[in-house]
Structure 1
Amino acid sequence: MDKIRKHIIFYGYVQGVGFRWKASSTARRLGISGWVRNLPDGSVEMEAEGTARDIEDLIQAMEDHSWGSVERITAENVPLHNDYNFEVR
């Protein structure tokens, strides 16, 4: 399957609730590389690289995160980086 990379921003109650930890553990389980970090405006930014289906599963897992709440998501395709791990920044 072909890989894609998405730049994603999650808006809502997504900081201080274990969101980045959940993103990291889920991405690693799904074999997705990339990174996740908090932004000053209270949103969380992520780049995820893997199959389209695995990235959809990651986004769904983040929407279903039990401690916070995602109000809105923006996502766009970006060039592949071919990195090997997923990190919390």
Structure 2
Amino acid sequence: MAEVRRRMRFHGRVQGVGFRYTAKYLAQSLRLTGWVKNEYDGTVLMEIQGREMLIHELMKGLNRSNFIQIDWIDTEDIPVEQESSFYVR
């Protein structure tokens, strides 16, 4: 399967609840690449790259948290990049 890359902006209770480190743990365990960072407006911005099915698994994992509350996500497909890890910015 081909890899895809998505830029996703998460709205809701997503800062100060372990979102970035949960995303990092899940992405690394699924061998996804990209990055995640907090934004000044209270959202979290993430670029995630890998197989579609694995990105879907990461999203299910984020939604299982008792602390994270995702109200909505703005999603945009972007070009695939050459990278080898997932990190917190």
TM-score bucket of the superposed structures, by smaller chain = over 0.9
- Secondary structure of 1:16's counterpart equals coil
Determine the structure 2 residue equivalent to 1:70: 70
Determine the structure 2 residue equivalent to 1:23: 23
* Structure 2 stretches lacking a partner, 5+ long: none
Q: Does 1:58 align with 2:58?
A: yes
Q: How many residues align?
A: 89
Stretches of 4+ moved more than 3 A in 1? none
Q: Whole-Å Cα distance in 1 between the matches of residues 15 and 24 of structure 2?
A: 14
CA contact (8 A) 2:62 2:68 kept: no
Percent of matched pairs sharing the same residue? 36
**RMSD of the alignment, in Å?**
0.8
* Structure 1 stretches lacking a partner, 5+ long: none
Determine the structure 1 residue equivalent to 2:44: 44
Superposition TM-score, scaled by structure 1 size:
0.95
Q: Whole-Å Cα distance in 2 between the matches of residues 79 and 14 of structure 1?
A: 25
- Secondary structure of 1:83's counterpart equals coil
